Amino acid sequence: MTAAEDHGRAVLSRAVAGDREAAGELLSQVRPSLVRYCRARLGRAHGSYEAADDVAQEVLLAVLTALPRYRDEGRPFAAFVYGVAAHKVADHHRAAVRRPMPVADLPDSADGALGPEDLAMRAADADTARALVDLLPEPQRELILLRVAAGLSAEETGAVLGMTAGAVRVAQHRALTKLRALAVGGAL
Amino acid sequence: MTDLHDVDGADSAESGIWASDALIDALGAGASVDDDRAAALLSALVSDVSAEPLPGLPDLAPPRRTRRLAPRTGIAAGAVMAVLSTGGVAAASVSAGPTSALFPLHRVLTGQSQLDGSQRQALEVKDKLASAAKALAAGKYARAQKDVQSAADRLPKVAVTDGHHDLAAQWTALNRQVKAKVTTTPATSSPGKVTASPTSPRTSAPARSTSPAPSQASTVPGGGTTTPVTTSPSASQVAGGAPGTGLTSPTPVTPTPVPSQTPTVSPSPSDPAGTSSPTPTPSGKHHRPGGGKGGSVAPGSPPAASLAPPSTAPVTVPPVQSPAASSAPVTVPPAPSVAPSPSAS
């Protein structure tokens, strides 16, 4: 077990014991990948990831609330977090009705980042990738998003999905091969 | 990037699996791929979801707090309502006397565990008056008289703050009723018999002590047969009032016929038979006028008290006096013992 893993376990133990500072550190570690996962799963709504970010916040709050009841059974903490996230995303899909979404005010100054065309191209590629992933079977889709969007390791992904790391690697190889075929074949 | 292509192009299945694993690891880390369409799309997806800033951390405060506000607010509102609704009762009970229905609450709020003497007497008087009223309604006049007498004994010990005035008023009214009933019923004692007046506990005082005229205007029914003899204003004032309370004694007393040999301070010492007109009292309301005959002894009925020796025998009045009775109803001077007569000494 590495020093980082030891530190992570210690933080987790203190967070479970009620240490709010440790809980904050734990959520800060989880949050970036969780937000990316939610955004990859839910996509943009009215051009914004705000709805996906709200779901990510709900997941974090649910994790925080459930922390006192968390029991470390040797599985990665990410498995617990993404297990909650899967339920929250499913809830969001069930409640997915068209609702008015707030739109941010237009910026007064020029944005130094990508221009509108580049942003549109990137967003279009992201939407295409999401559409391709949606064509995969459910286990493979979840696996690809956890591995690519959330950046989880094979072991962590296997813990979330209840698979071994080897099974994850085999499944992700098949999913990637299928995506290539779909992309080349012009499935979209 | 070339390594990924090399892995991707491996022939063996195992090498393909590892190559895919390496490619996906690279994509998850944010690497960009251009010549693999599928990998390029996934790379664009990762870049897109990572481009926008992350939302802030949620508030780490316990989320149950908002749910607890409602019941707490309800409890607080209920407590305020309870205080407001009971505040008036509590305020009224603080000043409640022993005869008030709020007195038990008064004792709780003020922490008073024991009754003081005056409060105890007030309760006793209240009970006696209630008992007398009940007995009166039941026709038990003797019992009513006894209770009224008992109340009269205790009434002077009741402080003004414990409802003395109210109790005195009740006593006066009740005593008047008792007297009225008693006079309309057959005599309970033989005429002329000297008995202790049930309403005047101090009638046992020696007749010679003084002859204070009560300041109370009450008289014995059938009065006029005796001459109320008043005493000095000071004596009358003291005798007529409950000591220390300022209460005018409600004892219905009529003036004691003063024997000629009684060394009283009667303003009319020259009238040994008591046939003279009543001596006006300072208060002017000691005696019943008697229809113009006031003060004169009924014919053939010399004042019983006047015949009584100036001894220590209590001079009382037969409570019942028929108009034709030969015995004169004699009232008893109230509490003469507390009105030392200058002449008595």
- In chain A, whose CA is at the least distance from the CA of B15? A173
Q: According to DSSP H, which parts of B112-163 are helical?
A: 117-137, 141-154
Contact B254, B317 (CB under 8 A): yes
Query: What are A43-90's pLDDT values in tens digits?
Result: 888 888 988 999 999 999 999 999 999 988 888 899 999 999 999 998
- Given a contact cutoff of 8 angstroms between Cβ atoms, the answer to whether A55 and A46 are in contact is no
Which stretches of chain B drop beneath a pLDDT of 50? 1-4, 7, 10, 187-345
Beta-carbon contacts of residue B42 (< 8 Å; ≥ 6 apart): A129, A144, A148, A179, B27, B33
Q: Please give the pLDDT value at position B155.
A: 85
User: Given pLDDT bands bounded at 50, 70 and 90, which one contains residue A188?
Assistant: low
Structure confidence at residue B317 (pLDDT): 44
CA pair distance B277, B255, nearest whole angstrom: 12
Higher pLDDT, B145 or A98: B145
pLDDT given for residue B108 in this prediction: 67
Q: What pLDDT sits at residue B140?
A: 85
DSSP string for B56-73 = PPPP-S-TTHHHHHHHHH
Q: Which residues of A touch B19 (CB under 8 A)?
A: 173
pTM: 0.43
- For residue B102, give how far its alpha carbon lies from the nearest alpha carbon of chain A (Å): 53
B7 touches chain A (CB under 8 A): no
Which residue from A23, A123, A129 is facing B42, i.e. has the nearest CB?
A: A129
Cβ pair B213, B238 in contact under 8 A: no
> Chain A: nearest CA to B51, how far in angstroms?
9
Q: Both ends of chain B: CA-CA distance in Å?
A: 139
The chain B residue lying nearest A126, using CA atoms, is: B45
CB atoms within 10 A of CB A29: 16
Cβ within 8 Å, pair B49-A35: yes
ipTM of this complex prediction, to 2 decimal places: 0.80
- State the average pLDDT for chain A: 86
Q: Which residues of B touch A128 (CB under 8 A)?
A: 41, 44
Buried b / exposed e across A109-127, counting CB within 10 Å, b at 16+?
Answer: eeeeeeeeeeeeebbebbb
- DSSP structure class, residue B337: G
- What's the rounded Cα separation, in Å, for the pair A155 and A153? 5
Which candidate, A10, A7, A24, places its Cα nearest to that of A64? A24
- B92 CB-side CA count, 13 A: 8
Determine the pLDDT at residue A178: 94
| Residue B81: predicted pLDDT | 72
Nearest to B38 among A27, A64, A176 (CB): A176
* High-pLDDT (> 70) share of chain A, %: 87
pLDDT score recorded for residue A94: 82
Residue of B36, B37, B47, B49 best to disrupt the A interface, most CBs of A under 10 A: B49
List CB contacts (< 8 A) between A36 and chain B. Answer: 46, 49-50
How many CB atoms lie under 10 A from the CB of residue B6? 12
Q: Which pLDDT score is estimated for B70?
A: 59
Record: contact B45-A126, CB cut-off 8 A: yes
Is the model's pLDDT at A158 over the cut of 80?
yes
Q: Scanning the structure block, which residue is given the tokens 């008591």?
A: B274
Express each pLDDT in B106-161 by its tens digit: 666 666 666 778 888 888 888 888 888 888 888 888 888 888 888 888 888 888 88
Q: What is the DSSP letter of B248?
A: B
Q: What is the pLDDT of residues A20-40, one digit of tens each?
A: 899 999 999 999 999 999 999
Residue A126 predicted with pLDDT over 70: yes
With an 8 Å Cβ cutoff, is B15 touching chain A?
A: no
pLDDT band for position A100 (cuts 50, 70, 90): low
Picking from B21, B36, B42, B43 by the largest number of A CB atoms within 10 A of its own CB, the best residue to mutate is B42
The residues in A 31-50 lying below 8 A from B, measured between CB atoms, are: 31-32, 35-36, 39-40, 49
| Residues in chain A closer than 8 A to B63 (CB atoms) | 61, 64-65
Q: How far is B76 from chain A (nearest CA, A)?
A: 28
Separation of alpha carbons B110 and A157, rounded Å: 72
Q: Is A172 on the interface with B (CB under 8 A)?
A: yes
Q: Which residue of B has its CA nearest to A44?
A: B49
